[in-house]
Amino acid sequence: MIMDRPMATSQDFVNWVCSDRLQPEFLKYLLLAEGKEGLHRFSSGSVHQTIYFPEAKAFNICYPPVAEQRRIVGILDEAFEGIATAKAKKNLQNARALFESHLQSVFTQRGEGWVDTTLGKEVDLLAGFAFKSARYTASENDIRLLRGDNIVQGSLRWDDVKRWPVSDVDDYERYQLCTGDVVLAMDRPWVKAGLKRAQITSDDLPCLLVQRTARLRGNGTLQNRFLILLISSEAFTRHILGVQTGIGVPHISGQQIKDFQFLKPPLKEQMHIADKLDDLTTETQRLESIYQRKLAALDDLKKSLLHQAFNGEL
């Protein structure tokens, strides 16, 4: 009997619907097999899921005798325990951690010829221009505008792009970006996923730099390939988190970026470090691809097992 109340948690629902004829473990697997068509069809909430009873009343299921339910649950428990999802996820984390470890080790050493310096002494930093939003366009033929929202962790995303009339770019030549430029969001520079920084590639061009976004170019003694690694380092992130101001929208200034102190190796060593980490990046991406495919295969295996269980094939 359904209690006369409008909502309950998902566990309340399981407790309510289960009786001597329907085992809780069996129902949970049944709902898992249903996927989005299970609890989600009449629930809301991602952390504390709420079940709306009017919709729950219409949830019809077929189930076998208790002995058969227990047999199916036993098979699924054993099968799911043997599926090495956790191991695959751990391997994926290890692949990423390997690169991070090598990256951080670069900036905790001091080799011959390394000198103490600041970004202000080593880069040309430019903050973007305040392009008037009233003149933004959606034409594919116009020039993309690089805003902080377009910068993510190590790359750019152009799914929400604003554009500027291609007929009016001559006056903004200074703000045109080039291959190899390092860009950094100045508003909310750090989010949970990490620091919002990237390096411009030929695929990103042409584009113009918008206000509250910084462009960094190494001078003659600092290579951009090394610069993006420096900006990606844990030390630089700690610096940004320590100097950013503002509560609602934390932000940083160009001067705060320039104030970052670091050890600069000679040019030849910078290139050697960049080459080594590029090779490691390629290997890390290869391993990530393998583990992602494994996780997808394991997910398909789980779905297959659930399909068999509730179609009388186990």
Cα–Cα distance for residue pair 105/285, rounded to 1 Å: 20
Cα diameter, the chain: 79
Contacts by 233-236 with C-beta closer than 8 Å and gap 24+?
A: 233/103, 233/104, 233/106, 233/107, 234/100, 234/104, 234/107, 235/104, 235/107, 235/262, 236/195, 236/260, 236/262
Looking at residue 278, its pLDDT comes to 83
pTM for this predicted structure: 0.65
Instruction: Tell me the backbone φ, ψ of residue 236, rounded to 5 degrees.
Output: -70, -40
Tokens describing residue 87: 């191991």
Looking at residue 84, its pLDDT comes to 58
Burial (CB count within 10 angstroms: exposed 0-12, middle 13-18, buried 19+), residue 230: buried
Cα–Cα distance for residue pair 77/261, rounded to 1 Å: 54
Contacts by 188-192 with C-beta closer than 8 Å and gap 24+?
A: 188/148, 188/249, 188/250, 188/251, 189/148, 189/240, 189/244, 189/250, 189/251, 189/252, 190/237, 190/240, 190/241, 190/244, 190/250
Tokens describing residue 186: 């100045």
Looking at residue 131, its pLDDT comes to 97
For the chain, 314 residues long, give each residue's pLDDT as a single digit of tens.
333 334 445 555 555 555 667 777 877 777 777 664 445 544 444 444 444 445 555 556 677 788 888 888 887 777 776 565 656 566 656 666 767 777 777 777 778 899 999 999 999 999 999 999 999 999 999 999 999 999 999 999 999 899 999 999 999 999 999 999 999 999 999 999 899 999 999 999 999 999 999 999 999 899 999 999 999 998 999 999 999 999 889 999 999 999 999 999 999 999 998 998 888 777 777 777 776 777 777 777 777 777 777 776 66
Q: Is residue 144 within 8 Å of 207, Cβ to Cβ?
A: yes
Q: Which residues contact 306 (CB under 8 A, 6 or more apart)?
A: 29, 32, 33, 76
Looking at residue 124, its pLDDT comes to 97
Q: Is residue 151 within 8 Å of 128, Cβ to Cβ?
A: no
Whose CA is closest to 116, among 272, 260, 267, 270?
260
Cα–Cα distance for residue pair 2/102, rounded to 1 Å: 58
Tokens describing residue 264: 């600069």
